[in-house]
Structure 1
Amino acid sequence: MDKLGRDKQRLTLAVLTVLPLVMACGSDTGSTSGSTSVASEVSGVHWKVDSVTVDGTTRRAPADADLRIRADGTAVGDYGCNEFGAKAAFKDHRVELTNARQTLMACEPRRMAFERALAATLTDHSLTVETKGDGLTLTTHEGDRIRLTKEPREKGAPLYGTKWTITALGDSNGTATGLPSRQMTSAYLTFDKKTGKVTGRLGCNHVTAAATVRDGHITLGAPSTTRMMCDTSLMHTEKGLLRLFDGTANYRLDKQTLTLTSANGETATAVADR
């Protein structure tokens, strides 16, 4: 074989050696598959918050602190006193919750201290996701961490026949305000499928109206109410709820929570009375 032939043979062998490496690099989808795997493990699960550790100090969570990350890229939960919602995005075994909004209730100091620690750690950080059995640990770059445990699958409350206690009202700007604890039993709604009506209490007065449910919407008729006068805070709650009537609102059921959203973006959040 002449020199030209030997050179061509060496060139061919070199190309064949490099090709598998190129093909291997081109088929690397670890980042995408990793994100998909983490999302599938964490999303669609009711996570109970066990504790939050900030700067080496661990605080145990109140009983109602929780987190749910939905498949649609949103997250909802409870900081320990106030409910919150946020956007959720997964990337490379990490999750980030941004654009968080919350209700504005006040609770006793210990709950509020925990809530501040959890909110500051959970949102606006890129969190490393680590799952082990029924446990989940979310860790910031600084080493602060949140420990959570998977809750047993909870059966959702039905729209009809459930006493829905109003817990928060939101305005068209997306700001939600929780009802004071003393009002928690004074505002509620119950939908009756057989009569096609909704009945309940608006904070002060009792209410009855027609209610037609179809395709994720509830059309509420003109309200018929009693005519009592109550203190200012109760009347404020009542005024907010009345704006949902005589119109059509979107509704969303999430386990034990019902959210009504009017055409102009005002919301009412309610929980199933157990």
Structure 2
Amino acid sequence: MALGALVSLLVLTSCGTETGDGSRPGNGSGGAVRTELPVTGIRWGVDSVTVDGKRTAAPADAHVEIDAKGRASGNYGCNLFTADVRVDGETFTVGPATSTKRGCEKDVQEFETVMSRAFSGELTAAVADRKLTLTSADGDSIALTSQPPAPLTGTTWTVTALVSGSVATSLPAGTEGKARIVFGKDGSVRGSLGCNGFRGRATVSGSSITFDSIDSTKMMCPDPRMKLERAVLAVLDGRTTYRIDHRSLSLTAENSEGLGASAAEKTRTGETTG
């Protein structure tokens, strides 16, 4: 898709200080600009960031959204952020960002550092076939892909994090991409626990999913995969609450144990190539 293929005229007016539920920080000052790039109102999943010639693959949750009021919001990989952004033709000017202060795994924190550095100041944008590339004058760049929303059923949800209370942790080393969950429209659920395959029933009601009759194979696997399997099984037991945020799924059991999963293909965090 050429840059001029989709032409939209967006008037971004000053929005002042935004108030809401407090889930996303930010100071909310915008400006009147025009853009010929189809970039607003789209959730852009971050594929990778390249800073000083080093490419770093993005965590599955990293994304950016730009609204019609001149506000960029998203997730650096662990922490939420907002920033004012002016879009004028092919030029993005990203103002200082405000972010949450969650504790993150070391590799995710390292990615957040390069992501926050790259997504700032004046950037040149290029759009082609669902892909967006933002490049600074120094040659640092962010590669993004538009992400359509994912439905609960029929989607392969790859487990990307384990949650205990309010603390999210990375998966045991070497188990990335091993645990997967698929919900059927007929109320069935199946997938992989990290080592063994499983199937059972999942009854959806409002924001809750009740798991029962979960049956799995009985293979023995290396300790990290068995550790992951036990953690996933503990969540897929009885009633849970669930939430879908575009292409991310969270499941939380009544004992506050939970997991995070993504419909995105990538499950790696902190991978770097020189």
TM-score (norm. length: structure 1): 0.60
Q: Which residue is 1:250 aligned to?
A: 242
How many Å separate the matches in 2 of 1:163 and 1:43? 22
SS at match of 2:30: helix
Structure 1 residue 241, shift from structure 2 partner: 0.9
Structure 2 counterpart of 1:46, which letter? G
How many Å separate the matches in 2 of 1:261 and 1:222? 18
Percent identical across equivalent pairs? 23
Say whether residues 1:235 and 2:226 are aligned partners: yes
Structure 1 residue 101, shift from structure 2 partner: 4.3
1:220 to 211, 214, 230: 211
How many Å separate the matches in 2 of 1:215 and 1:37? 39
Structure 1 counterpart of 2:251, which letter? L
Give per-residue Cα distances to partners, 1:186-227, cap 9 Å, x unaligned: 422221112x11112212333222112233432222523334
Give per-residue Cα distances to partners, 1:120-158, cap 9 Å, x unaligned: 3545x8x7443443454689xxxx99532453x233443
Q: Which residue is 2:179 aligned to?
A: 187
Q: Which residue is 1:55 aligned to?
A: none
**In structure 2, do the counterparts of structure 1 residues 150 and 262 end up closer, same or farther at CA, with 3 Å as the change threshold?**
same
Structure 2 counterpart of 1:176, which letter? T
Structure 2 counterpart of 1:60, which letter? K
1:119 to 112, 115, 118: 112
- The equivalences for 1:85-234 within 5 A come to 85-90=78-83, 93-103=95-105, 116=110, 118-122=111-115, 128-134=120-126, 136=134, 147-151=141-145, 153-181=146-174, 183-184=175-176, 186-194=178-186, 196-234=187-225
Structure 2 counterpart of 1:262, which letter? A
Structure 2 counterpart of 1:59, which letter? G
Structure 1 residue 173, shift from structure 2 partner: 3.8
Q: Which residue is 1:16 aligned to?
A: none
**In structure 2, do the counterparts of structure 1 residues 121 and 47 end up closer, same or farther at CA, with 3 Å as the change threshold?**
closer
TM-score (norm. length: structure 2): 0.60
Unaligned runs of 5+ residues in structure 2 are 1-12, 18-27, 33-38, 86-94, 127-132, 266-274
How many Å separate the matches in 1 of 2:74 and 2:258? 17
Mark the structure with the bigger radius of gyration: 1
How many Å separate the matches in 2 of 1:234 and 1:217? 27
Question: Which structure has the highest helix share of the two?
Answer: 1
Unaligned runs of 5+ residues in structure 1 are 1-28, 53-57, 78-83, 106-111
Structure 1 counterpart of 2:206, which letter? D
SS at match of 2:16: helix
Say whether residues 1:36 and 2:37 are aligned partners: no
CA RMSD of aligned residues (A): 4.1
Give per-residue Cα distances to partners, 1:16-69, cap 9 Å, x unaligned: xxxxxxxxxxxxx9683972359x9698433444422xxxxx133245468424
**In structure 2, do the counterparts of structure 1 residues 60 and 216 end up closer, same or farther at CA, with 3 Å as the change threshold?**
farther
Residues 31, 91 of structure 1: 8 Å contact kept: no
